[in-house]
Amino acid sequence: MGVLVGRRFLFQTGRVVKPKRKESEQPTTGLLREQVQRLFANLPGAQAGQEEPIHQIRVASRRLRVALPVAARKPAARRVRRSLKRLRELTRLAGQGRDFDVGAALFDREAPKAKVAPIVVRLLRDRLAATRTRAHKKLAKALADFDATRLREDLDILVKRGGVDSGETALRLGSARRKRARMALEELRALGRNFAPMALHSIRRHCRWLRYAAELDRTLFGGGDSAVRRFKGLQDILGKLHDAFVLAEWIAREATIRETQGNLARAAAARVVSARLKDRAQALHHRFLRIKTAGWLESSLRRNAALLRQAAEA
């Protein structure tokens, strides 16, 4: 079976990084080691509240959650299940406040374009900044309190045990991608052309998982770049849609607070800003509808079938 033993690993980022591994080592072992190193190299900075390390541990945690069930020798073992649980917790903690970070930049781009008094924009920005600061403090405390000792021990042991061979990897990867692609297709068909941000966000999570799985395929089996680009593109569009909708809802809640305080003029102006952001989310939804998402998912299913055939022949 055509495993690219000498291939450089591309699983971390778009950056090419040459793995450090022994000649007899399975490629999956090197892949797991790189992601574990990436996670713990960024953890101290994340616990100190630094924005880029926080982003990096979210990415590394998610990629490990995709890679472990595919690459670990015993994916159903207690140590793997415990690691996945802790990685999910770390991803959740690192995601606290992310909406407000993205929302602040989005607000600065979109709110001034709304036809409302500048003072309303300034007051909303101040409220958003205060909320963002509180979220950052909560995030920093949660990450500082996170006990990574057991997670590090478990992951180090799993790496030391080594990854599985190419045939088993192809079988697991093909099966997992088939299951996820079918789930995404079912949700996509049930949604139709409806604008339902939470349902669209669920499809986005599927696309993100499929992107990371496609990167695994590219790294280990020479799968093409097209699947990675397609799922990343879908993930980006649906992410921007989600960001605009979440910020619009937050501003709408601020408008409700102003109404209860009797400040109807400021509340009405806030609702104008909220409506502009919802229009942006709707525009992104129309863009999403123009993409042949179902066709891409079906193409992924065909690739998964090819991986399963390769596994059977190994």
Mean pLDDT score of the chain: 87
The model's pLDDT over 181-195, given as tens digits with 9 standing for 90+, comes to: 999 999 999 999 999
pTM of the model: 0.85
Residue from 173, 185, 195 nearest 311 by CA:
173
Q: Which residue has the higher pLDDT, 84 or 46?
A: 84
The domain ranges of the chain are: 27-313
* Residue 101: per-residue pLDDT: 86
Tokens of 42: 């960024």
* Residue 24: per-residue pLDDT: 59
Give one DSSP letter per residue of the chain, joined into a string.
Answer: ----TTPPB-SSSSS-B-----TTS-HHHHHHHHHHHHHHHHHHHHHTT-HHHHHHHHHHHHHHHHHHHHHBSSTTSHHHHHHHHHHHHHHHHHHTTHHHHHHHHHHHHHGGGSSS-HHHHHHHHHHHHHHHHHHHHHHHHHHHH---HHHHHHHHHHHHH-B--HHHHHHHHHHHHHHHHHHHHHHHHHHTT---HHHHHHHHHHHHHHHHHHHHHHHHH---HHHHHHHHHHHHHHHHHHHHHHHHHHHHHHHHHHHHTT-HHHHHHHHHHHHHHHHHHHHHHHHHHTS-HHHHHHHHHHHHHHHHHHHHH-
- CATH 1.10.10.10, applies to 27-313: no
The model's pLDDT over 184-226, given as tens digits with 9 standing for 90+, comes to: 999 999 999 999 999 999 999 999 999 999 999 999 888 778 8
* Residue 223: per-residue pLDDT: 78
* Residue 99: per-residue pLDDT: 82
The model's pLDDT over 16-52, given as tens digits with 9 standing for 90+, comes to: 344 454 545 788 898 899 999 999 999 999 888 888 8
- What percent of the chain stands above pLDDT 90? 62
CA distance 230 to 211: 8
The pLDDT of residue 2 is above 50 = no
* Residue 185: per-residue pLDDT: 94
Name which of 10-14, 48-52, 136-140, 188-192 the model is least confident about: 10-14
* Residue 296: per-residue pLDDT: 85
Band of pLDDT at residue 314, cut at 50, 70 and 90: low
* Residue 50: per-residue pLDDT: 84
* Residue 60: per-residue pLDDT: 93
Band of pLDDT at residue 300, cut at 50, 70 and 90: confident
